[in-house]
A and B are shown apart, each in its own frame.
Chain A
């Protein structure tokens, strides 16, 4: 009996050995959609080249969709013709979930940073993306200018407005707004909304009402008022409705503007122009002194696999390769963000001191990704742009938001 068992075991080992020796090398053509260019593009290309060196049978094509990424992906979703691997830019659950392959069984899935779970897991606990990084977003600040003006880091909306007033009086721009890209005013609304709605004692109640459809849209007026106060008090740049995002990093480096509501990647770009520029990011101001300033965090540079891809094995292998610590580190560093997997040491350069300074700061999720139906981002872009362009009022913008919210919820 023992002999028979031994023989059986040996045969099994032999067979598995033969199978392993004859495992088909990966092959196929992998199409990846990203929006990386410049320094980030170079880093991503080096990762693709590394993967191809290890898997010569796989031909990888990186399709860079730049700033039209979302529009292109919408057309591709409508035609059910998606790339094998694509970036989900914070929308892996609410927008792309039905097109993505669950990735819970991938070896790197257990290493996902705990703080990301609320934004990248669905109600069944499934994860659909490799989260390379987490975006900790606040307000970008020209720190040298802040110090020169004798100002402290603002913790409340009132203090923030005071800083803008001082900057304006000294001939600087309080908040730089690149309104030609309608995402700029929408960023302000999206980032400041938690301050008025989800940062106080009634946060849970308001959050639940946003999710179940019973939200009182009268409360949104405070969010619109914040944006309008910046505009009406002259804290925004005079060309706030037409300025291009291309000038955001320049205005910080040239020490012309004090604050920008944008992601940290603008800082990385600014340091590419002048590595010595004293810039950073600070928490978003609380509504008043009874509440604390906060950061907004969540999924950022994440990639998922199209569930109908014909190259799923190669796509999984690519994500596994990208999940290696050295690659996560590379992406995190060029994007100025924190790693999305545990155990990755990142040299964030100029950003390190800011990450350390705000390590214990309260972090809230991206407002629209958790509390608004998919599609509301476009409405926020429209209403924010109309507000700074003087084409709408606080009330009208609120009504548009409510109408869009109700319509999109009814389409669910």
Chain B
């Protein structure tokens, strides 16, 4: 019996190690490439004989990468904060009032989530041109919020369903208004799902390419994904510098994820279980 348990644990651990290796391998190759010169044609799995930091220097040249990280951070921070606040405030009545209208609205939100964002690109672009939203942070922030909100509302609605209504009723008896109940009683209980929403929508906006490409064309407004794309053009591609820039660009996300991972996992589990 004990032997069987040991064997089972061994298989589990080996499988886990294999999955971890598969996940880490792209980052390993990326780092190896970032440390090699363009003339080094050795296998991308083999570390360089004499590592170079030239690619990192090139990636940081002119401060464009740092500027793009800052731009992305501004967009993600503002858009995600608003997605969280608006999403939670919208999710609360949808979860608490089981009226036909609420149910229809929830279904509508689900439907919106199914629409491929790029299918409405041209009319969206035209509208943004009309309201002078092209090449502005507020233009891309509005767009990011619009596409992030359905997921956020959906997750908050599901999560709030798990909070007993008795809590609201007790607060009501104590003289709390609806807003006080939401901000004082409900909001503090939403930490885990808020972490999930923050990470899911935040990562989506951080990694977005298509919308940012169409909305942000000024070099000074470039985000990380747009900045990385400048290393790839017809007849002018520098993979090694792109790898170095990518290494630097993913650092902030990794740090944030490490801090929030506990909440993230808890939030995903809690919002999935009613």
A78-B126 contact, Cβ under 8 Å, with A61-B219, A66-B229, A72-B213:
yes
Contact B233 A38 (CB under 8 A): yes
Q: A204 at interface (Cβ–Cβ under 8 A)? A: no
Which residue of B has the minimal Cβ distance to A254? Answer: B41
User: Can you list 16 A-B pairs, Cβ within 8 angstroms, ordered by A?
Assistant: A33-B217, A36-B233, A40-B236, A64-B219, A66-B230, A72-B214, A75-B125, A79-B122, A183-B234, A249-B237, A253-B39, A263-B234, A265-B234, A269-B235, A273-B38, A273-B39
* Nearest B residue (CB) for A63: B217
A154 within 8 A of B: no
Which residues from chain B sit less than 8 Å from chain A, CB to CB?
38-39, 41, 121-122, 125-126, 129, 134, 213-214, 217-219, 229-239
CB atoms of B229 and A78 under 8 A apart: no
Of A36, A79, A183, A265, most B-chain CB atoms within 10 Å: A79
Q: Which residue of B lies closest to A269 (CB)?
A: B235
Q: A81-B134, A250-B41 are in contact. Are A38 and B238 (CB under 8 A)?
A: yes
Task: Tell me the bound Cα distance from A247 to B44 in angstroms.
Answer: 13
- Minimum CB–CB distance for B118 against chain A, Å: 10
| Interfacial chain A residues near B219, Cβ < 8 Å | 61-64
Q: Which B residues are in CB contact (< 8 Å) with A75?
A: 121-122, 125, 214
Q: Taking beta carbons and an 8 Å cutoff, which residues of A are in contact with B? A: 33, 35-41, 61-68, 72, 75, 78-79, 81, 183, 245-247, 249-250, 253-254, 263, 265-266, 268-269, 272-274, 335
- Interchain nearest-CB distance for A75 vs B (Å): 5
Contacts of B41 in A (CB 8 A): 250, 253-254
- On whether the beta carbons of B218 and A266 are closer than 8 Å, the reply is no
Going nearest first, the 7 A-B pairs with the smallest beta carbon separation are A265-B235, A38-B236, A246-B237, A79-B126, A63-B217, A254-B41, A81-B129
- Bound together, the chains give a CA A146 to CA B213 distance in angstroms of 42
Looking at B129, B229, B234, which has the most chain A CB atoms within 10 Å of its CB?
A: B234
Given A78, A253, A263, which contacts B235 in the complex, CB threshold below 8 Å? A263
Residues in B with CB closer than 8 Å to A79 are 122, 125-126, 129
A269 to B238, CA, bound (A): 9
Bound CA span A75–B214, Å: 8
Which residues of chain A are near B230, meaning CB under 8 Å?
37, 41, 64, 66
Give complex CA distance A246, B229 in Å: 12
Residue of B nearest to A64 (CB): B230
A265 touches B232 (CB 8 A): no
Q: How far is the CB of B173 from chain A (nearest CB, A)?
A: 56
In whole Å, how far is B29's beta carbon from the nearest beta carbon of chain A? 13
Cβ contact within 8 Å between B237 and A269: yes
New A-B pairs, 12, CB < 8 Å, besides A35-B233, A250-B38: A33-B217, A37-B231, A37-B236, A41-B230, A66-B229, A66-B233, A78-B126, A79-B126, A247-B239, A249-B237, A263-B235, A265-B236
CB of B220, distance to nearest CB on chain A (Å): 9
Partner of A68, one of B38, B134, B213, B231: B213
- Report the Cα distance A249→B233, complex, angstroms: 12
Q: Within the assembled complex, what's the spacing in Å between the Cα atoms of A246 and B234?
A: 9
CB pair A67 B234 closer than 8 Å: yes
Chain A residues positioned under 8 Å from B213 (CB to CB): 68, 72
Q: Kindly list chain A residues whose C-beta atoms are within 8 Å of the C-beta of B238.
A: 38
Chain B residue numbers with a CB within 8 Å of A61 are 218-219
In the complex, which residues of chain B have a beta carbon less than 8 angstroms from the beta carbon of A250? 38, 41
Complex: how many Å from CA A220 to CA B218? 43
CB distance from B133 to the nearest CB of A (A): 11
Q: Contact check, B129 vs A245: say whether CB atoms are below 8 A apart.
A: no
Which B residues touch A254, using CB under 8 A? 41
Contact A37 B134 (CB under 8 A): no
Q: CB within 8 A of A39: which of B38, B129, B217, B236?
A: B236
- Of chain A, the residue at the smallest CB distance from B226 is A66
Least CB distance, A54 to chain B, in whole angstroms: 22
Docked pose: A265 CA to B233 CA in angstroms: 11
Chain A residues within an 8 Å CB radius of B214 = 72, 75
Chain B residues lying within 8 Å of A41, measured Cβ to Cβ, are 230, 236
Residues of B with C-beta under 8 A to A274: 39
Assess whether B218 is in contact with A63, with CB atoms less than 8 Å apart: yes
Question: What are the residues of chain B within 8 A of A268 when measuring CB–CB?
Answer: 235
Asked if A246 and B235 sit within 8 Å, CB to CB, the answer is no
**B residues less than 8 Å from A263 (CB atoms):** 234-235
Closest CB in chain B relative to A88 CB, distance in Å: 15
